[in-house]
Amino acid sequence: MCIRDSIYRLGDKNRNIYGGDKDQLIANSGSDFTITLPASPSAGATVIVKNVGAGTVTIARNGSNIEGSAQDGTLESTKGMQVVYVGSTPGWKEL
């Protein structure tokens, strides 16, 4: 199995994640912005986000559940998360 690693350092722009097997994002912004999860993730896809800026980062679910719920997530300053896509009903599960 090939695992693609992508590390993105984000400034003040909203960002879509396009579905690599393993994406790592470092959010550094003084204002709020949104990171959108992949629209058609594969089981086992992993996303890691760390908010090192002052703004709140919204994690947009893009049609898939997060923790079994049809709601977007948020990361306050200094918070981080790692999620893995499990399947259509549970969606993204936090590790």
Question: Is residue 47 scored above 50 in pLDDT?
Answer: yes
Question: Is residue 77 scored above 70 in pLDDT?
Answer: yes
Nearest to 53 by CA among 15, 16, 85, 94: 15
Question: Is residue 5 scored above 60 in pLDDT?
Answer: no
Cβ neighbour number for residue 7 with a 10 Å cutoff = 10
Q: What is the mean pLDDT of residues 47-58?
A: 90
Question: Is residue 7 scored above 50 in pLDDT?
Answer: no
User: Residue 41 corresponds to which tokens in the numbers above?
Assistant: 């993730």
